[in-house]
Amino acid sequence: MGDSIHDEAEGSGSSFKMGALANPNVLKIYQTGELTVVGFGGKDVPDEVCIAEYRQQLLDLIAEHGVKTMAFDLSGVQLVPSGMLGVLSTIAKRVEMVEIYNPSVDVREVLLMTKLERLFEIKEVQV
């Protein structure tokens, strides 16, 4: 994969269907497999997102694809609701590594203040 994110979720034989997500306009699956990359399409995560449903969808994705590393592409995301931080923490307990790609200065500050940065590997990657 190198330092770029590419789209393998569509047309690559992946059995995970975007339509299975509660709102496919919020959560995007860029790649599935041992390294699975999800993102938010360059938009902030809305507060009204059903966090419990997304948590379950991500846990199902982990189980279905044998995910070892779950990466979250936060390119273009300025704010992450506290509930989503909880989801990231839950995911960190279920996989070997959680990577956070391209977090904004504000998101980095929240991760530092909450000491959550210790759970994740933060990376700057090309998208």
pTM score of the predicted model: 0.77
In angstroms, rounded to a whole number, what is the distance separating the alpha carbons of residues 120 and 91? 10
Angle between helical axes of 51-65 and 82-94 (0-180°, round to 10): 20
Nearest 10 degrees: Cα torsion 28, 36, 57, 21? 20
- Domains recognised in the chain with CATH numbers: 18-123 (3.30.750.24)
| Tens digit of each residue's pLDDT, the chain (127 residues) | 444 444 333 333 343 443 344 455 567 888 899 999 998 877 777 665 578 878 888 999 999 999 999 999 999 988 888 888 999 999 999 999 999 999 999 999 999 999 999 999 999 998 6
Which uninterrupted H or E stretch holds 123?
Answer: strand 120-123
